[in-house]
Amino acid sequence: MIIEQLVTSFIAAAAFSVIFNAPKNRLIQCGLVGMLGWFVYTICTVNGIDAVVATVAASILVAVLSQLCAKFYKTPIIIFTVSGIIPLVPGGLAYDAMRNFVVNDYNMAIQLAAKAFLISGAIAIGLVFSEIINQMIRKAKWKKIQ
C-alpha cells in the first residue's frame, strides 16, 4: 500500500511539473521532492496524526529539500516547491466544498472550506517556517565569519 502511494505520488508530482513547464532536466528531482512530501503526510495520517499537522510536517520537509535542490542546481526554489506541494494542496477539498455549496448543503460546505483553508495555511506556514530557519542559519554563519 505504501509502495503504490510512493509510485503514484512520484508520477503525479512529475506529471504536474510537466504541466507547469518545469525545465526538462529537473523533472526527476521534482517528482522525488513530491514523493517524499507525500510519504511523510501518509505516514503521519495513517498513524492517526491530524491532517493539518501532517501537512505542516510534510511541507517543511518539501521546503528543506527544495532549498537544497535550489542551491545545488542554482535554479529558483519555486520550481521544486511547486511540484513538491502539489500532492499536499487541498484541491480536492476545495472542489468538494464548492460542490456542496452549489447543491445547497451549506453545513458540509463550510466544514470542508474551513478545512481546505487550514490545510493551505499549513502548507504556507511550513514553507515560510523553513525559509526563516534558513535565513537564521545564514545570518549566524555570517556573524561567525565577521
Partner 1 sequence: MHNKEITKVCLLAGKLMLQGGAETYRVEDTMMRIAVAFGIDNSQSHVTPTGIMFSISETEPTNFVRIVERSTDLNKVTLVNSISRNISNGALSLEEAGAALKVIEKQTHAYPIYLQIVAAALASGCFTIMFNGQWIDFIPALIVGGTGFSAMIYFHRVVEIRFFAEFLASLLIGFFSYFFIYMEFGIELDKIIIGSVMPMVPGLLITNAVRDLMAGHLVSGLSKSAEAFLTAFAIGAGVAVVFLIV
Q: Quick one: DSSP state of residue 74? A: T
| C-alpha to C-alpha distance for 101 and 65, rounded to whole angstroms | 37
- For partner 1, the closer CB: 104 or 139: 104
- Which of 55, 8, 124, 53 shows the shortest CA–CA distance to 132? 124
> Min. distance of Cβ 144 from partner 1 in angstroms?
25
- Site of grid cell 503526510: 41
Is residue 92 part of the contact set for partner 1 (CB under 8 A)? yes
| C-alpha to C-alpha distance for 59 and 33, rounded to whole angstroms | 10
Q: Which of 43, 51, 98, 133 binds partner 1 (CB under 8 A)?
A: 98
- For partner 1, the closer CB: 72 or 144: 72
- Which of 74, 108, 73, 85 shows the shortest CA–CA distance to 37? 85
Is residue 21 part of the contact set for partner 1 (CB under 8 A)? yes
Residue 108 has which C-alpha cell? 458540509
Q: Which of 67, 75, 111, 134 binds partner 1 (CB under 8 A)?
A: 75
- Interface positions with partner 1 (CB under 8 A): 4-5, 8-9, 11-12, 14-24, 38, 74-76, 78-79, 82, 85-87, 89-92, 94-99, 101-103, 116, 120-121, 123-125, 127-128
